[in-house]
Each structure stands twice: as C-alpha cells, then as structure tokens.
Structure 1
Amino acid sequence: MPALITYQTPVLADWVDYNGHLRDAFYLLIFSYATDGFMERIGLASDDRDASGHSLFTLEAHINYLHEVKLGEDVQVRTQILGHDRKRVQLYHSLFKAGSDEVLAASEQMLLHVDLAAGPKSAPFGDQSLEAMRLLVRAQHDQQAPAFVGRVIGLPK
C-alpha cells in the first residue's frame, strides 16, 4: 500500500520560532490534524461525529524531533496503525518533507474511542470503524516497524 497520507501543509510564518524553525508546539498541531485525517478514513469525520456522537480522545502522545523544519517547507504526515482493540487505536505519525523519505519528526499516540453523549465515556468502535482499521492494517502489513515505537524519556545510567 502506498503511504497513508493523513495531512499535508506548508509551514506557516506563525508556526516558526526565533530560531527560524518550526516551533515545537506546532509539530503536535500538525500531528493532531493528521489524527483528524485518520478519523475521516475510519468513518469518524466531522459529519459522522455529529451524527453518531462518537469521537477519539488522545490518551498519550510522544514526539521525537529529528530534523529542523523551516518556514514555507511543504510537509506531510504519513500514518501507520500499530494496533487496535475494541476501544483504542495506537498510531504512529511520521512527518516528512513532501516528496522526501527523510523522517523529520515522529509521534506515537494512543487514542480512545468515546461516546460523547454518554459522558463522554469510553465505548467500543462501531463496525464501520473497526472494519476500516482492519483493512488499513492489512494494507500496511508490509511496512517496516517504525524506529521510535515504545521509547521513553530517560538519561543513560
């Protein structure tokens, strides 16, 4: 399967810091928009969320900043499903300069499916979302395991 591109954007002037590169907070913004793109792929787009009252909440997110990203660069996020169960999905977003295979940043995320009308509270994915994720996992079966999965922060001892 070709890469699952979930978001693409130029780096905007408001996103650049005093060092001339993408401010750390805006990496998370870009990855958040990529999660929205993923949600569209599994039947949780805005209209679907409004109709069903279901959405995804981020439980945990880790970001690895690997290379500088400059003003005006066109970047894209490619998303891989690492795993899922009835209520959660583990995603790996990789940020690339559009047209390049060099990873600029990566974010591993754990997301929870929620019923907004019931609380919000956790709820099983609907059949449509589960099937869409199964199809994506099958299509991504030949992709390599991402380099920064499961990392934790710590100083060497």
Structure 2
Amino acid sequence: MPTLTTYQTRIIPDWVDYNGHLRDAFYLLIFSYATDALMDRLGMDSNNREASGHSLFTLELHLNYLHEVKLDAEVEVHTQIIGHDSKRLHLYHSLHKVGDPQELAGNEQMLLHVDLAGPRSAPFTPDTLNHLQAIVAAQTDLPAPAYIGRVIALPPAR
C-alpha cells in the first residue's frame, strides 16, 4: 500500500494571501482535515468518538513549506504512519497537486489518544489498534519521509 490519500480539495480565493500563495494557516487546515479522515479510517469517526468518549489530541506538529501552492490548485494529502505506541500516534502528511508526486508541503504530527471524560490520556481501543496496525503493516516498504524529526535552528555563527 502506498501512503493513504486522506484528503483532496481545491485552493479557494479566501485561502490565498497578498502574494498569491496559499496562506500559511490554510496548509494546517488542509492537514487537519486529513487527520480527521485518518481518524475515520481508524474507526474513530464522529459516531465512535461520541459513543466511546475517546478522541485524538495534537501534542506537537511541524510544518514545512516546500513549494508554492496557488489559487485553484487541486491538491491532495498523502498520509503515512511513522509509528505508534499504546497511546500515541506519529504520522506524516504530505501535500501534492493531484496526481503529481512532488511534495509541496510536509506536516509531521504527534497525536495522543484521550479519554474525554478526564480529559486524560488513554490506551487505544483494540479495534483502533487493529486498524492502525493494518495500515502500518501495509506501509512497511515506504521510505521514511525526508522531513521528519527536524528541529528549528539557525546554523552556527561563523
């Protein structure tokens, strides 16, 4: 299985800034919708969240802007599971023009499974773990994305 295509959209005028590019906040909106779609694939759709009282919270994310995205571009998000433990999910979203392998932006996320009654962290349910493990197994042959595990820093002064 290649990376999952989790979201597709067209870049609309309200999302474009004064430079004619997709505004930085809307990259994250697109990636957020892709995370919602991944939750659905993991069996954590709105009905499940309401019934179980569990959800995913974002602990940390990094966004890399790699190439311009312009008005009316048709884009899609590909999602790769990097890893998980009993409560956390590490994933990577990449933004592409539909049908084009060039990565326009990358988004690394660490998510936490949460019991909303606390709220407090909670282990994934067996059903969610099964869905998660099936995706991981299907993506075993994918290379690690180039933009994971990075930190923001200036180069040392010369």
Deviations 1:96-155 (A, max 9, x none): 0001000000000000000112x1110000001101110000000111110011000011
**Percentage identity across aligned positions?**
66
> Cα distance, 1:3 vs. partner?
2.8
Map of 2:58 onto structure 1: 58
Residue ranges of structure 2 left out of the alignment (5+ in a row): none
- Structure 1 distance, partners of 2:108, 2:56, is 15
Alignment TM-score, normalising by the size of structure 1 = 0.98
Map of 1:138 onto structure 2: 137
Give the 5 Å matches for 1:2-151. Answer: 2-117=2-117, 119-151=118-150
List structure 1 runs of 4+ shifted beyond 2 angstroms.
none
RMSD of aligned residue pairs (Cα, Å):
0.6
- Structure 1 distance, partners of 2:3, 2:124, is 24
Residue ranges of structure 1 left out of the alignment (5+ in a row): none
**What is the one-letter code of the residue matched to 1:6?**
T
**What is the one-letter code of the residue matched to 2:44?**
L
Alignment TM-score, normalising by the size of structure 2 = 0.97
- Structure 2 distance, partners of 1:10, 1:51, is 33
- Structure 2 distance, partners of 1:3, 1:13, is 29
